[in-house]
Amino acid sequence: MTGTILVYLKYPEPGRVKTRLAATLGAEHAAELYRTWIGHVLERMQPLRPKVRIVGAFDGAAESAFAPWSGLVDAWWPQPAGELGARLDAGFKQHAANGPVFAIGTDCLELDAQRIQDAVASLQNFDTVFGPANDGGYYLVGMARYLSGFFEGIRWSSPDTLQDHLDRCRDKNWSVTLLPPLNDIDTEADWKAYLVRRDDVSLAVVISAINEAAALPCTLESLAKQTATADRVLIVDCGSRDDTREVTARYRADVLDSMTPGRGHQIAAGVDACSQAFIVVAHADMRFPPDALARIREHLHAQPDCPGGCLGHCFDSARTAYRIIEWFDQRRARAGQSYGDQCQFFRRTALQRVGGFPAQPIMEDVELAARLRKLGVPAALECPVLVSPRRFEQRGVLRTLWQNWRFRRAYRRSGVSATQAIFDTYYPHRVRS
């Protein structure tokens, strides 16, 4: 045994964790993120076991509440009452008999086992080690042996925290070594910056279009105003005769020509043309809430086993009939049976394992949901996009619902072989090429 890592964490109760993050993201969302960070940090420490002992220093609930992470630690230790310095001092004093002691939190998602190993090795020649955070604090602190008074007189949660410690070590003649600096996540800006630094959260939005010059401006405007914008917006056009291409150029989106009619064929061509990790499939008349793309990135990053899912939808109409449709569609989405107008998204490489995006003229959204279910549990994020009820208004609500039910039944019975007949019925005036 070469030492102990104390992972200081709180129970992820909304309103009591990540309050600076919650100020802009909301208490529930911040707590959800913090919950995933606990697992992320503990999992990254696993290569160190059993040479280094992992101890969960918990607070905010009974030990039993932390059971979901019990397999990732060697022991639990309840933090005592008091300010941070007193709690850190108590932890180091309690565990110093097992060798060097290190303390980390759950705010630095870039910390990995290799940096911990570097810290362990450094204490063969130094009394203390710090991992500086770029906000003036630190993501790691370690002692080769227990040093009485080490945590006294420190200005906590300030830009001077690390400097105060370095000054104290100098005054006491304790030798110090520093690891490379990393970033903590305390605010929404920190979280977004972390996502940008990750090379596996690139995101593309693919939109199929035929003569959508009237609808596209609102859709593209909502994408331009995202808190975390897309790395690419690709319009897949199939012979538009209006100003669709001019509108696309105005918003600096890319255009791909597809000569095969059918939304599924268009989207499949767009997906093949994208290299981004995450793909969002949008309709040309779909308006996104400002945090939609950030929510998708956050969820897929935090839940690596999730293959994709949907945002949900809200019809741009006050009619009660649409609230009922939304309710039923939401229930289906929670069961992994989302539709295209709920804004589906997925991991591009994961979907390739089950045949990729379904290149078929219609019912591609039903098939996509089925393929995602083969990969895991799809998400229903309940971050609804605003969609036009124009199809329902043109054909009548009851007639459209009846027709959609018949199409789904035909597809369940016959699969892809039924899609061309469904397409011809749904678009009776569109000329097949």
pLDDT at residue 44 above 70?
Answer: yes
pLDDT at 411: 87
pLDDT digit string (tens) for 228-278?
A: 889 899 999 998 999 998 888 888 888 998 888 888 999 999 998 888 889
Return the percentage of the chain with pLDDT > 90, whole number.
67
pLDDT at 281: 97
- Mean pLDDT of all residues in 164-186: 94
* Alpha-carbon dihedral angle through residues 8, 13, 14, 18, given to the nearest 10 degrees: 0
pLDDT at 217: 95
In DSSP terms, which residues pair with 287 in a beta bridge?
386
pLDDT at 348: 87
Please give the Cα distance from 391 to 287 (Å, whole number): 16
Instruction: Say which range, 29-33, 114-118, 199-203, 328-332, has the weakest mean pLDDT.
Output: 199-203
Best CA proximity match to 151, nearest among 82, 88, 83, 102: 88
pLDDT at residue 81 above 60?
Answer: yes
pLDDT at 353: 86
**Helix (H, G, I), strand (E, B), or coil: what is residue 65?**
helix
262 close to 423: Cβ distance less than 8 angstroms: yes
- Full 3-state SS string of 277-331: CEEEEECCCEECCCCHHHHHHHHHHHCCCCCEEECCEEECCCCHHHHHHHHHHHH
231 close to 223: Cβ distance less than 8 angstroms: no
Best CA proximity match to 190, nearest among 139, 120, 244: 139
The three-point CA angle 232-235-240 to 5° equals: 165
pLDDT band at residue 198 using 50, 70 and 90 as cut-offs: low
Return the percentage of the chain with pLDDT > 70, whole number.
97
pLDDT at residue 102 above 70?
Answer: yes
pLDDT band at residue 200 using 50, 70 and 90 as cut-offs: low
In DSSP terms, which residues pair with 58 in a beta bridge?
9, 78
pLDDT at 431: 43
Residue 384 preceded by cis peptide, ω within 30: no
pLDDT band at residue 432 using 50, 70 and 90 as cut-offs: very low
Please give the Cα distance from 198 to 216 (Å, whole number): 30
pLDDT at residue 109 above 70?
Answer: yes
* Alpha-carbon dihedral angle through residues 167, 170, 175, 178, given to the nearest 10 degrees: 30
pLDDT at residue 433 above 50?
Answer: no
DSSP string, 161-208: HHHHHHHHHHHHT--EEEPPPB----SHHHHHHHHHH-TT--EEEEEE
311 close to 334: Cβ distance less than 8 angstroms: no
Question: What distance separates the 2 farthest-apart alpha carbons in the chain?
Answer: 85
pLDDT at residue 340 above 60?
Answer: yes
pLDDT at residue 199 above 60?
Answer: no
283 close to 340: Cβ distance less than 8 angstroms: yes
The three-point CA angle 203-341-370 to 5° equals: 80
176 close to 169: Cβ distance less than 8 angstroms: yes
Which tokens in the block code for residue 305?
A: 């086993």
Please list the helix, strand and coil fractions of the chain in percent, rounded to the nearest 5, in that order. Answer: 45, 20, 40
Could you tell me which residue, 157 or 218, shows the higher pLDDT?
218
pLDDT at 298: 86
| CA distances, 205 to each of 74, 250, 363 (Å) | 43, 17, 19
